[in-house]
Amino acid sequence: MSDHIEWVAVSVFVFFFALVTVMGFVAARWKSGPVSEHLDEWGLGGRQFGTWITWFLVGGDFYTAYTVIAVPALVYAVGAYGFFALPYTIIVYPFVFMAMPALWKLAHRNGYVTAADVVHGTYQSRGLELAVALTGMVATMPYIALQLVGMGAVIKTMGLQGEWPIIAAFIVLALYTYNSGLRAPALIAFVKDIMIYIVVLTAVVVVPAKLGGYGAVFSAADDAFRAKGGATGLLLKPGQYLPYATLALGSALAAFMYPHTLTGVFASKSANTIRKNAILLPAYTLLLGLIALLGYMAHAAHIKVGSPNEVVPELFKTLFPSWFAGFAFAAIAIGALVPAAVMSIGAANLFTRNVWKAYVNPAISHAGEANVAKITSLIVKFGALAFTLFLPVQYALDLQLLGGLWILQTFPAVVFALVTRWFRAEALLLGWAVGIAWGSWTAWSNGLKPLASITFDGTSYSFYVALGALLINVAVAVVVSAVLSRTSPAPEVAVRS
């Protein structure tokens, strides 16, 4: 952590930040559309994004700034275990390929904007719709707050003190999201992703060359973990196998239940756009795997940090000239803006469609919807800003962990109907409630750790609590659906095609 301001880095940083700010406001006129007249325009960019725009948008919004900071930080601290992000972001794509085109078709045919719209359209249940909408909004808030944490880490490393840089960045972000809707992050994602690719590809070539090659990087990390001891190391301990695999699987199933990822899916122009993206998006996963290795490079470079979140900024500052460090920091900070914008849009869409339209003003016009969503996006962002300014960072981390657990409990309601209409709305709602209650209680009583354990035959097995909660959720939904189909065989609504 430095106490003097790195002026060269700050100048480069400010230049790129100003560039994307201009782009954010110009975006309203890009791919011309009447942004304020229809929620499809403001909230989904006109449902017209082709393969490449979708690739940049979903890539920019799924692989967030927080990821760039937090994954290497975890790898730096514990080693192999932190790599679960890699299998997670690989196995997510076969799932996306199978499920998301069908979900897109449903949304496209019926004009749905959110996951909760899909659930309401399928089950005609206001209760289940509200459950899915509230879960999405609550799970998204801490995620936005964490983007600010990522941005804060790089701003501090440049020597800028105080909270004003973050506040200024966020006001700018809030204004152009309000003005341009989803077109703003889609356009900015181009710049952000190209910058991130340049930074990471440079880092993974130049840094090992400076440090004596990848062999030296891995052995330096190995030495550090041997000195540290505990559940750390270049390989997993046998007790970490199940946590590693269940964290990967649970995170992969949860990833596209979030409002920001689904917004990217619904904004694409065809089912084939999504299929092609399932093939092309793993390029970002390769990048993520390389980013994770920055955690080991930090050991080889003997970086010493106060908090693990400073690993990546300190590594860049130590090994690169000031101008390139500034470029890298701008990439990470802009990398925070894209997901933060899409997340606030996703949450605003949910509020508008599934709370405001459902309960306050069912007769709302298309322009009215766009207007409610624009204002909601401002409230959501200032809520997240207040969250990071006034509450300890640990709260955001804990809530983001719980958010992943909660959002996974919407999986049965959103996805199962693509395969079978056997499940009943009441059963899915009860399963959701039991899954959330059991999962939250278990996580809470374990001191907000993502792992729960059961003892079976004298051996204790640890696993990702969200996946355990999902199993209980599905079990409840199956049993209640079976009972209901016996007691009241007639389905409550006609099956819609």
The 69-108 contact track toward another protein, x by CB under 8 A, reads -----------x--x--xx--xx-xx--xx----------
Max Cα–Cα distance, the chain, nearest Å: 72
Among the listed ranges 178-186, 274-282, 355-363, 447-455, the one in contact with another protein (CB under 8 A) is 274-282
In the complex with another protein, the residue whose CB is nearer, 209 or 375, is 209
Nearer to another protein, 38 or 237 (CB): 237
Taking alpha carbons only, the member of 438, 407, 400 closest to residue 115 is 407
Q: Please select the residue that binds another protein; options are 279, 360, 386, 483, rule is CB under 8 A.
A: 279
> Torsion-angle region of residue 447: left (phi > 0), alpha (psi -120 to 50) or beta?
left
Distance CA 37, CA 27 (A): 16
Asked if residue 258 lies in contact with residue 105, where contact means CB atoms within 8 angstroms, the answer is no
Nearer to another protein, 255 or 436 (CB): 255
Question: What is the identity of the amino acid at 415?
Answer: V
Q: Which is nearer to another protein, 248 or 405 (CB)?
A: 248
Q: How far is the CB of 96 from another protein (least distance, A)?
A: 9
Nearest approach in angstroms of CB 200 to another protein is 14
HSE of 200, CA atoms in CB hemisphere, 13 A: 26
Using the rule CB under 8 A, is 245 a contact of another protein?
yes
When asked if residue 255 is in the footprint of another protein (CB under 8 A), the reply is no
Cα separation, 64 vs 340, in Å, equals 9
Q: Which of 56, 62, 244, 327 binds another protein (CB under 8 A)?
A: 244
Give the interface segment with another protein, choosing from 64-72, 223-231, 271-279, 443-451 (CB under 8 A). Answer: 271-279
Q: Are 90 and 285 in contact (CB under 8 A)?
A: yes
CB 374 within 8 A of CB 42: yes
- Interacting residue with another protein among 172, 280, 393, 418 (CB under 8 A): 280
Among 278, 333, 415, 480, binds another protein (CB under 8 A): 278
* C-alpha closest to that of 199 among 71, 49, 312: 312
* 299 near another protein (CB under 8 A): no
Please say which residue, 201 or 216, places its beta carbon nearer to another protein: 216
Span of 168-176, 239-247, 350-358, 422-430 interacting with another protein by CB under 8 A:
239-247
Please, are residues 56 and 45 in contact by the beta-carbon 8 Å criterion? Answer: no
For residues 323 and 343, what is the distance between their CA atoms, to the nearest angstrom?
31
| 53: contact with another protein by CB under 8 A | no
Q: Which of 125, 261, 285, 309 binds another protein (CB under 8 A)?
A: 285
The torsion angles phi and psi of 63, rounded to 5 degrees, stand at: -95, 90
Using the minimum distance from each CB to another protein, give the nearer residue, 244 or 320: 244
| CB closer to another protein, 97 vs 197 | 97
Considering the complex, state which of residue 263 and residue 277 has its C-beta at the smaller distance from another protein: 277
Among 158, 165, 151, smallest CA distance to 6 is for 158
**Runs of H (alpha helix) within 352-496:** 366-390, 393-408, 411-415, 425-445, 465-487
Q: Which is nearer to another protein, 82 or 136 (CB)?
A: 82
85: exposed, middle or buried (Cβ count in 10 Å: 0-12, 13-18, 19+):
buried
Report the C-alpha gap between 72 and 54 in whole angstroms. 26
239 binds another protein per the rule CB under 8 A: no
Kindly identify the residues of this chain, within the stretch 188-227, that bind another protein according to CB under 8 A: 213-218
Minimal distance, residue 241 CB to another protein, in Å: 4
Q: CA geometry: angle at 129 spanning 270 and 429, to 5°?
A: 120
Q: What single-letter amino acid sits at 417?
A: A
- Return residues touching another protein (CB under 8 A): 50-51, 80, 83, 86-87, 90-91, 93-94, 97-98, 213-218, 234-236, 241, 244-245, 248-249, 269-273, 275-276, 278-280, 282, 285-286, 289, 293
